[in-house]
Amino acid sequence: MSWKVRPPQVIRNLFPGTTWRMPEQEKVIYFTFDDGPVEKETPWVMNLLNQYQIKATFFCVGENADNNQHLIQELLNNGHSVGNHAYNHLPAWKCSRSEYFNNIDKARPYIPGNLFRPPHGQLYPWYMKELKSKFSKVVMWDVLSMDYDKRLSKEQVLSNVTDNVRNGSVVVFHDSAKAWERLNYALPKSLDFLLEKGYRFEVLKMD
Ligand SMILES: [Zn+2]
């Protein structure tokens, strides 16, 4: 299993001020869905969560939010949170500082609230001050399902989640075509497993 699934503390410490895990006292899990909203996968996830009466947080790509504003509205109407994931999913290590922040600002009109997740989890520690001036939370993850990785079986994606979750885990899935084959298997099975274990689910607050 990759170190990426549950990043070690030494990695987390490189980025002070980011959120990897929520308070560990309560049996609460925070599911997050990245890279939507898109026509097929986002409504499917939303319907499934509604069936389970579970709320989650969606880190939206600005361009997708721009093209699918009705889905942003539907997420909010259903009690989910949304967060900024940049307009074009630009990774920090592959663009200039000004490109990076312009791309984040370009997404803001389409995605309300004060949550941000850096595309590809890429960040520079010296970007944190500006990010924290724009957002109340810069959210990383405690457990990465790796549902986007075609080299993994759907069973492996499920066990990435079930073997690693713990109190306060922020868990990443993707409401994207790329993840679909693994998502549609691992998400309902993860929910069944965690509910059986007595976990509750909450959103990351948008303010
Ligand atoms: Zn992403």
Mean pLDDT for 95-120 is 98
Q: How confident is the model at residue 146 (pLDDT cuts 50, 70, 90)?
A: very high
- Tell me, in angstroms, the distance from the centre of ligand 1 to residue 89's CA: 6
- Tell me, in angstroms, the distance from the centre of ligand 1 to residue 128's CA: 18
Q: Token pair of 68, please? A: 């699918």
Question: What is the extent of the structural domain holding 102?
Answer: 17-201
pLDDT at residue 120 tops 70:
yes
> Which residues share a beta bridge with 116?
84, 138
Residue 206 covered by a domain: no
d(CA 66, CA 111): 9
Q: Look at the alpha carbons of 22, 24, 30, 32 in this order and tell me if their dihedral is positive or negative.
A: positive
Residue 8 covered by a domain: no
Closest CA to 174 of 150, 195, 193: 150
Q: What does the pLDDT look like over 9-53, one tens digit per residue?
A: 999 999 999 999 999 999 999 999 999 999 999 999 999 999 999
- Tell me, in angstroms, the distance from the centre of ligand 1 to residue 159's CA: 21
Q: Token pair of 33, please? A: 């869905």
pLDDT at residue 141 tops 70:
yes
- Tell me, in angstroms, the distance from the centre of ligand 1 to residue 74's CA: 20
Q: How confident is the model at residue 3 (pLDDT cuts 50, 70, 90)?
A: confident
Give this prediction's pTM: 0.97
CATH number at residue 152: 3.20.20.370
Residue 96 covered by a domain: yes
Closest CA to 175 of 204, 148, 141: 148
Q: What does the pLDDT look like over 67-98, one tens digit per residue?
A: 999 999 999 999 999 999 999 999 999 999 99
pLDDT at residue 1 tops 70:
no
Residue 105 covered by a domain: yes
Which residues does the annotation mark as catalytic? 34, 174
When divided into structural domains, the chain yields a total of 1
CA distances from 159 to 22, 190, 194 (A): 21, 9, 12
Rg (CA), the chain: 16
